Structure 1
């Protein structure tokens, strides 16, 4: 996450904040251009908290103190000013032209933020686990079930060790039968879905490795994750299953797929030809 700006860091860490920290985060996001000129006392008064709460908030984000936090904010604001502003909020009175542009901008923003969140060391480890795995099982429920199925479909074209089950009960059972030679790819935007957490727990107890694709750094799911890959799409409580979140997740799956293909080129290329031939007669 070292490549992301401070506002992206706040978004990806938000669900692990205390109520007091959320009050501070909300003020910073809402008044970002004002906060950079505020003293720690000014910000504390604006948030209705003590100065020590502001200091703890900065420490939670990995900064030594408030001044270092403000320096990071200044860099992030400068980057925003240099980048073209993207209008994404959809309004009831938007024209069809405005609507199509905003949907496009939302998806582009999700991809850009996901790219900025990539931890290349974690990405490299994730691909190494997939290459060495005896079986790769994809898990997800709800909207993430569709993304998990896409991951399964993608990898099935180049390796016979890709596996997937739709039913949640069957997912739980197959997770419990995994071994230390297997890898689970678990997809969940919130990281707080009960069925997904139970699967992750079963995978961990079975001794298999877990790669999680999720939005937040800390969640009940990431507690069971060996490697966490963050997707950068903001999704409100009334936006469950948004395509921008799915696009961000699919982007990470695509990166994993292509790097896996590169590292296992000979066998993957041969398998891709076989699977293509298997369905060619289905086409007119």
Structure 2
């Protein structure tokens, strides 16, 4: 299915669409490159329909869901471009010098946009919740699990109340045992990852404070979040796990870390010294 042209696919089924599905189809045909970077909520809002209508549109196209639709769309857009692309800016014709410049530019752009999206009060509120928390759980699957593990490794140097489980089954079990006063930090670029949404939903039901780190201001994950921190990298469905997206997430986690360190200076300094001393003998 991924190798099919989305334009031909839509036109071949257009007469079978409902009026609502035709609104979605018309918008996609007119804004194909923009839709690649939209969440299902963003597309639904742009078409002035419900998320369920977008999902039904995908099913009518014989696609499993919105993510498979975006993969087909991305393939179609790359086929339409005259110059083959490895990402939204890098082409097969680039020299190493071109690559180094473009990668640097995309990373700087991701960090700059994340900075511009920052809401200072959200950072302050998130850190206050983390300081007061009995336990802080970091959640993420796939590429985001690596980011969540990095966050765990960073915070465990200054506090003993951070937790992370790499397996999605262990994560949902951890969420089931959360209590009021705990904090769940859910990391998902798309905000549409089923496992992460399930964890956030269960953690919220258990009374925990849920902080999400995601790209989209409107996403299913945000429905179960008390606070949402937005990262600024654009990542297409064929670019999963891009470093620019990861850098923007780590940038937000760094902000949380340093603000946490400031607010708990005495304890954090002591713990930092203890953890540093514990591993010093492992080094030459």
TM (norm. structure 1) is 0.71
What residue number does 1:188 align with?
188
Give, in whole Å, the separation in 2 of the partners of 1:155 and 1:282.
20
Correspondence list, 1:97-176, <5 A: 97-176=97-176
What residue number does 2:237 align with?
237
C-alpha RMSD of matched pairs (Å): 2.4
Kindly provide the CA deviation profile for residues 173-221 of structure 1, in whole angstroms up to 9, marking residues without a partner as x. Answer: 0111011110001100001111111101110111100000000111111
Kindly provide the CA deviation profile for residues 32-82 of structure 1, in whole angstroms up to 9, marking residues without a partner as x. Answer: xxxxxxxxxxxxxxxxxxxxx99979xxxxxxxxxxxxxxxxxxxxxxxxx
C-alpha change, 1:56 and 1:200, in structure 2 (3 Å) is: closer
C-alpha change, 1:172 and 1:103, in structure 2 (3 Å) is: same
C-alpha change, 1:262 and 1:54, in structure 2 (3 Å) is: closer
What residue number does 1:266 align with?
266
What residue number does 1:252 align with?
252
C-alpha change, 1:97 and 1:211, in structure 2 (3 Å) is: same
C-alpha change, 1:230 and 1:24, in structure 2 (3 Å) is: farther
What residue number does 1:177 align with?
177
User: Where does structure 1 differ by over 6 angstroms across 4 or more consecutive aligned residues?
Assistant: 27-30, 53-57
Give, in whole Å, the separation in 2 of the partners of 1:156 and 1:216.
28
Give, in whole Å, the separation in 2 of the partners of 1:180 and 1:160.
18
Kindly provide the CA deviation profile for residues 226-255 of structure 1, in whole angstroms up to 9, marking residues without a partner as x. Answer: 000000000001000000000000000000
What residue number does 1:26 align with?
31
Give, in whole Å, the separation in 2 of the partners of 1:55 and 1:220.
17
Consecutive unaligned residues in structure 1, runs of 5 or more: 1-17, 31-52, 58-87
Consecutive unaligned residues in structure 2, runs of 5 or more: 1-22, 36-44, 50-87
Is 1:282 matched up with 2:269?
Answer: no
What residue number does 1:76 align with?
none
Helix, strand or coil at the partner of 1:221: helix
What residue number does 2:11 align with?
none
What residue number does 2:222 align with?
222
Give, in whole Å, the separation in 2 of the partners of 1:24 and 1:106.
27
Give, in whole Å, the separation in 2 of the partners of 1:136 and 1:21.
45
Give, in whole Å, the separation in 1 of the partners of 2:46 and 2:137.
43
C-alpha change, 1:208 and 1:29, in structure 2 (3 Å) is: closer
Aligned length: 215
Give, in whole Å, the separation in 1 of the partners of 2:146 and 2:275.
21
C-alpha displacement at 1:19, in angstroms?
Answer: 3.0
Give, in whole Å, the separation in 1 of the partners of 2:122 and 2:206.
22
What residue number does 1:6 align with?
none
Give, in whole Å, the separation in 1 of the partners of 2:93 and 2:279.
46
What residue number does 1:71 align with?
none
Give, in whole Å, the separation in 2 of the partners of 1:25 and 1:217.
23
